[in-house]
A and B are shown apart, each in its own frame.
Chain A
Amino acid sequence: MGTAQITRTYEPSGLIAYITHRNRIWRKNPSLFAGGVILLAIFVVILFNKQIAPYNPIAMDFNAALQAPSRQHILGTDNYGRDLFSRIIRATPLDLKVGILAVLFPLIIGVFVGMLSGYFGGIVDTIFMRLVDTFIAFPFMVLIISVIAVLGPGLNNVILAVTMVSWIIYARLVRGEVLVAKNLEYVMAAKVLGYSDLRIMIRHILPNVITTAIIFGALDVALDILLASSLGFLGLGVQPPEPEWGAIIAEGRQFMSTAWWISVYPGIAIIITGAGFALLADGLADVLRVGGKEG
């Protein structure tokens, strides 16, 4: 067995061994790990918002207007002399709130409707599918904007408008899963045991179908943050002087030639946050799809 000695020549030890060991989470599921780290950092930003922001994000200081990034103002200042870094930090909880609530509400409604529609079928299902066909004919953004036209601009109305439009996506997703699940053996078994429809739906089908909706939801948070900042940019979202990423980019448009930093940096905040949720969704898909296809 001469070869055994050759293979034992090098084994990493100490910190390197710890980091490179194949059982570590960042080796097993790098997406989940990277997404988790980014979101943890964002969570810290939200928790210690006031401590992290060096200036008051809405306090004006005309002596410091339109300053380029410097040691005093690391990302520069806007036309009112407000510190851009503080404004971006302060906007974080706001954008996250829209992103998360605009997923949570449609998720709850969508799971409820999708379960009923898929499980019972019949007339409810037919009406639901017609509704799906209709909603899909509209460009998503156009529909959201026209709902906001009716409700009026503002943070809560953005959440309401997204809820009204996007629950249907979740419902369709869950309906498809329920259609498959309700013919599987464990549901048949539950029926034979004489369990009520309600119990079968909640205790047996729901835990098996909700994962797809949750994975999509994590990705949808990223999409909704993009959407919310787009609406903020158009002036239909959060109203000034409260800072919001998209709105800050819109404010910076007037100063594109002199103060590019106002428009550039908030976009980077959007991209980082979006990447965090997209990676989380990717990682969750690996973890939650137990028994599914590997890799």
Chain B
Amino acid sequence: MIPVALGISLILFLLLRAIPGDPAIIRLGVRATPAAVANLHREMGLDKPIWTQYFIYLRDIVTLNLGDSIRYEVPVAKLIGQRLPITLFLAVYATLLSIIITVPMATFAAMRKDQTADTTIRIIFMLVLGMPEFWVSVILLIVFSLKIPIFPLGGYGKNFPEHIYHLALPAFVLALGQSAWLIRSLRSGIIDVLQDEHVNFARAKGLNDRMVLLRHILRNSLIPTVTILGLNIGYLVGGTVIIESIFSLPGMGSMMLEAIFNRDYTVVQSATLCFAVLVILINLLTDLTYSILDPRVTLG
């Protein structure tokens, strides 16, 4: 993990240095006096050798001193503190929804392998896979916010029930894309496990179908699906950038986009860093989940 973290910081550092133009001039404007520019250079550490600058950057990350937003002139860490909970809420909400969609659909399809129901579910989700998320969002907004006004056009709400209500459509769009991958994996997982002897044995013991399904089939077929879920959450988190801008949610993704259009590079860089840290943590969490699902897996 440590080489990865160093690699990430190096890429972000180089990305920020690759921006055309002098950051001091970007902040002070083109009419700045050379003295003021030199002063700011010294303040920002830009007059030091590039390696020293990188170490300063590393020290700043570790101490959570992410610099100030050029546009809003507040610390980036504070902005992230305001925005991150919304993105996290959306990501968790979408993940839960995707599980709620995936498990019954995949079970239903696997139990009726190659029958009409199975084929229908597979074709529908294959089509979903090819649909752009932003397009699905616009369609859902047209249908469920404008033609039949059930859901709000955007916004985040003030308390927990309002969050659930306001984020329903955006979370559903993210969950739908995610489910398309998960259903494929869980369906074939269940079909494999169904042929195992322990399932026959459980039935022979006289367990009812419900218990066989929950305790003996699902638990065993979930492991590969959890891997895919873990890998795809990075993709889901990336999707929030678009979804947040469509549903006007004040999260990390929309912050990043605004920052790009405002040329607020410290914010872009910190947001990217924050997303990367999020993905690393999720991968860690995925590994922990294995040992819960499968006691044979020990964490070394």
Contacts and interface: CB of A to CB of B under 8 A. Distances in A.
Interface of A: 130-131, 133-143, 145-150, 222, 226, 229-230, 233-236, 246, 249-250, 252-253, 256-257, 260, 263-264, 266-267, 270-271, 274-275, 278
Interface string B120-136: 00000001011111110
A137 B260 contact: no
A236 B241 CA distance: 13
Contact of B241 (A142, A226, A278): A142
B133 A230 contact: yes
A138 B275 CA distance: 7
Contacts of B261: 235
B75 interface: no
Nearest to B12: A146
Interface residues of B, number: 45
Nearest to B242: A230
A59 to B, nearest CB: 25
A153 B139 CA distance: 26
Contact of A233 (B4, B7, B239, B242): B242
List of 6 A-B pairs having minimum Cβ-Cβ separation, nearest first: A141-B238, A134-B7, A139-B238, A267-B135, A274-B130, A149-B260
| Most chain B CB neighbours (cut-off 10 Å) among A135, A137, A274 | A137
| Most chain B CB neighbours (cut-off 10 Å) among A150, A257, A263, A267 | A150
Nearest to B4: A133
Interface in B218-245: 234-235, 237-239, 241-242, 245
Contacts of A133: 3-4, 7
A192 B130 CA distance: 48
B268 interface: yes
B8 interface: yes
A263 B139 CA distance: 8
Given A137-B276, A257-B146, A252 B138 contact: yes
B131 A130 contact: no
